[in-house]
Amino acid sequence: MSAGPTTSSRSEALRIDASRLMDRIMGLADISPIAGGGNCRLALTDEDKHGRDLVVSWMRDLDMDVSIDAVGNIIAIWNVGSGSPVMTGSHIDTVRTGGKFDGNYGVIAGLEVVETCQKNGFTPSRPLAVAVFTDEEGARFAPDMLGSLVYVGGMTTEEALDINAIDGPRLGDELVRIGYAGSAPCPGLVPHAFVELHIEQGPLLEANNVRIGAVTGVQGISWQEVTIVGQSNHAGTTPMSLRHDPTYVAAEIAVFLRKLSASYGAHQVCTVGKVDVFPNLINVVAARVTMTLDIRNTDEALLQRAEQEVSEFLKEVASSEGVSITTKKLARFEPVEFDNRVIDVIEKISISLDNTTQRMPSGAGHDAQMLARVCPAAMIFVPSVNGVSHNAAEHTDTDDLVAGANILLQSMLALCTTEFDRV
């Protein structure tokens, strides 16, 4: 009589169900569609609540233990095996003009990992957890990665609950309003390891004709809000020489950032993504402009230098135009390096499944960078068509989505049996 397959050869043969994965991605995208095929599910809005309810119903269908913590993070655990769980997860909030895949893909692929094991009668040696972190985008409540930051103890719950949205409401009140003010404590359970699957959101994999990125880390990010107060006046009668025009100053700042990026090289990126002009009328020199600066670099020293140069420029331009400028820090995270042991696991599995594979840093922020503070963590990237993201046209080919989910599955199972020496 021949022996049955070993546990490891059985697990290596497991493959996710492509149509179930795609059905769930499209099902979540149906919740809050926008023109052009994208989604608007800003954190803690009604749309976010509907998305959460759907994902939680899927978690319950898989008999996972679902808990909601004090900042609304959803943690679902398939309680099998022993020890701390191998966790995956991401976010389901979007920017206002988001796509179907940013964040959502990683969460849904996590559920697919659990369902694939269950349907094939395979029991991992550790629990598997799938997390939905609150407000990863930071588009409604800064900073970004807020839920995962609180989850790992990088910000107190009280501080997070007191943050106000760009449209006014307090985060804590919005959580109560949508029914996601939970009772599980933060910081939360420390996973054995964390691996996040995500679309690249940039052009590199496609340009290199490579299917899988084994992500080595995340660049540093600096967000600030700049408020420029000038002298509002009549657009027809006020001589140019007598103006104190905050809109002009905002434009100067945007141009300065573009020139600074060019002088620092390709790793320096700067963005003015939000500009609010008051009173915002054609024939009124504005009274006030509020704008956001998003400055990122993989090198912390260069990022600090860029921040310093920006700060000096703000003083110069305020004095030359006769306006006042104040700044408010919205987010500041240093560059993060992922755990080499987890990167190795992802890379080896990707290659063994016949995928072209490269190591690469992430340009976007991700929840995995917060989890990296408490456990071995890394990420898997799949290509973004035309490198487009934070845009309704965001797209990844189904074959790539399926390949990424299979690598997530095999990586999570491999991490169940990987022992890490904690230092």
Tabulate helix, strand, coil % of the chain (nearest 5).
35, 25, 40
For residue 208, what are its two tokens? Answer: 């290199």
For residue 218, what are its two tokens? Answer: 């995340």
Q: Using CB atoms within 10 A of its CB, is residue 371 exposed (0-12), middle (13-18) or buried (19+)?
A: buried
Closest CA to 368 of 267, 248, 218: 218
Distance CA 86, CA 231 (A): 57
Reduced to 3 states (helix: H, G, I; strand: E, B; else coil), residue 54 is: helix
Distance CA 85, CA 191 (A): 5
* Binding partner of 206, given Mn ion, ligand GLV, none, CB within 5-8 angstroms per partner class: none
* Residues in binding contact with ligand GLV, number by CB under 6 A: 4
* Binding partner of 215, given ligand GLV, Mn ion, none, CB within 5-8 angstroms per partner class: none
* Binding partner of 29, given Mn ion, ligand GLV, none, CB within 5-8 angstroms per partner class: none
**Given the rule CB under 5 A, which residues bind Mn ion?**
102-103
Query: What minimum distance in Å lies between the beta carbon of 92 and ligand GLV?
Result: 13
Chain residues 208-247 in contact with ligand GLV, contact rule CB under 6 A = none
Query: What minimum distance in Å lies between the beta carbon of 144 and ligand GLV?
Result: 5
* Residue number, 103 or 147, with CB nearest to Mn ion: 103
Query: What minimum distance in Å lies between the beta carbon of 229 and ligand GLV?
Result: 28
Binding mask 131-150 for ligand GLV (x = CB under 6 A): ------x------x------
Binding mask 343-372 for ligand GLV (x = CB under 6 A): ---------------------xx-------
* Residue number, 59 or 382, with CB nearest to ligand GLV: 382
Query: What minimum distance in Å lies between the beta carbon of 136 and ligand GLV?
Result: 6
Name the residue with tokens 């009589």: 1
End-to-end CA distance of the chain: 47
Query: What minimum distance in Å lies between the beta carbon of 335 and ligand GLV?
Result: 13
* Binding partner of 144, given ligand GLV, Mn ion, none, CB within 5-8 angstroms per partner class: ligand GLV
* Residue number, 103 or 154, with CB nearest to Mn ion: 103
* Binding partner of 404, given ligand GLV, Mn ion, none, CB within 5-8 angstroms per partner class: none
As beta bridge partners, residue 379 has: 196, 215
For residues 5-41, b (16+ Cβ closer than 10 Å) or e, as one string?
Answer: eeeeeebbebebebeebeebbeebbebbeeeeebbbb
Query: What minimum distance in Å lies between the beta carbon of 233 and ligand GLV?
Result: 37
Query: What minimum distance in Å lies between the beta carbon of 314 and ligand GLV?
Result: 22
* Residue number, 243 or 366, with CB nearest to ligand GLV: 366
8 A C-beta contact, residue 240 and residue 259: no
* Binding partner of 103, given ligand GLV, Mn ion, none, CB within 5-8 angstroms per partner class: Mn ion
* Binding partner of 365, given ligand GLV, Mn ion, none, CB within 5-8 angstroms per partner class: ligand GLV
Query: What minimum distance in Å lies between the beta carbon of 295 and Mn ion?
Result: 17
* Residue number, 11 or 104, with CB nearest to Mn ion: 104
Q: How far is CA 278 from the centre of its chain?
A: 31
Binding mask 284-323 for ligand GLV (x = CB under 6 A): ----------------------------------------
Binding mask 25-64 for ligand GLV (x = CB under 6 A): ----------------------------------------
Question: CB-side exposure of 273: number of CA atoms within 13 Å?
Answer: 15
How far is CA 32 from each of CA 27, 140, 358, rounded to the nearest angstrom? 10, 16, 34
Distance CA 171, CA 177 (A): 10
How far is CA 114 from each of CA 110, 162, 412, rounded to the nearest angstrom? 7, 35, 10
What count of residues does the chain have? Answer: 423
Q: Using CB atoms within 10 A of its CB, is residue 341 exposed (0-12), middle (13-18) or buried (19+)?
A: middle
* Residue number, 47 or 102, with CB nearest to Mn ion: 102
* Residue number, 148 or 355, with CB nearest to Mn ion: 148
**H/E element, 42:** none
Q: Which residues of this chain interact with ligand GLV, rule CB under 6 A?
A: 137, 144, 364-365
